[in-house]
Homo-oligomer: A and B are copies of this chain.
């Protein structure tokens, strides 16, 4: 199941240039390139004549010419030239997808164009904040995941898993026994855990030069429809900020992470990290990018393991636990949006 009337990250900005980039989203082949003026374009990756992927053709100005019989399509997907004939049938067009470029990502709208709405982009403005240093994920290539996109929401709304999956880098004693609060909004779910007298994440404490013997630690995830997560994690000397204080006074990292569905059982993970410590330190950034990739590969290994069982035993009975509250709330929200799409289509 996919939500269609929403934004997905199609690529890191730096991935899209003159050459056609072919990628599949929601089972649909899509072609991405930039116009001469630099505007990103997303077209159906299929010539409407003989079904050759247009990505096997060549760029001409702002257009792309099919590599089989030379039909030329403009950036809106309209065929503007058919070699050997003057008239161009009206239906000679391929689908053009709305795209918008924001926060070093190119976003694509896979659904009903009439419902396309930039206000539904996630609230990721911290990536533009000059008081933090933002590092883009995995050398600006998406991490491929052999699992359904929604497993990534589950993963990020349930951060107790750091104790088990990321013990060495992010884990900390006691984290799994601190209860979480769950907040429900129109288009998002928020999970918050505030742990007092807790161990800070070892990797972050080291990079931030934090060595207070008594820390408070927080984890908060906002997951916006469909799969855009803002993970806010940080720590401070115990009692110096408090749950309702200004978290920027502590060592704070916001990880912006999203999963774009490729097929029902494969996805792309895109992400960046905004930190308010070691600001501008290129060496820390370099190290950090590698560590984050390793941590996310641990998550992906787990999610791919889940997918294998989900595919093999779709009807196996399952239980829920207390920590699932935000996960289940997000499932319900996604189902609600899916039902609304079905009604309106």
Contacts and interface: CB of A to CB of B under 8 A. Distances in A.
B67 A302 contact: yes
B51 A321 contact: no
A343 interface: no
B66 A309 contact: no
Interface in A293-312: 301-302, 305-306, 308-310, 312
23 contacts: A46-B316, A48-B316, A49-B319, A51-B309, A51-B310, A51-B318, A53-B305, A53-B308, A53-B309, A56-B302, A65-B164, A67-B165, A68-B306, A69-B158, A69-B160, A69-B176, A70-B163, A83-B163, A83-B176, A83-B323, A84-B323, A85-B321, A85-B323
Contact of A68 (B27, B65, B91, B302): B302
- Assembly stoichiometry (copies): 3
A239 interface: no
Given A84-B321, A177-B84, A306 B67 contact: no
Nearest to A57: B164
Contacts of A91: 317, 319
Contacts of A317: 48, 91
A154 interface: yes
Contacts of A67: 164-165, 302
Interface string A32-52: 000000000000011011111
Given A51-B306, A84-B321, A84-B322, 13 more contacts: A29-B309, A29-B313, A45-B309, A48-B317, A49-B320, A51-B318, A67-B164, A69-B323, A82-B322, A83-B177, A84-B179, A85-B322, A89-B319
A306 B309 CA distance: 30
Contacts of A163: 70, 83
Q: Please tell me the size bucket of the interface on A.
A: 35 or more
Given A163-B83, A165-B68, A309-B29, A92 B302 contact: no
A290 to B, nearest CB: 23
In the A-B complex, the 6 residue pairs with the closest CB atoms? A83-B176, A51-B309, A85-B322, A51-B306, A46-B309, A53-B305
A161 interface: yes
A220 interface: no
Interface string A320-333: 11110000000000
A71 interface: yes
Nearest to A299: B68
A267 to B, nearest CB: 17
A323 B177 CA distance: 68
B56 A305 contact: yes
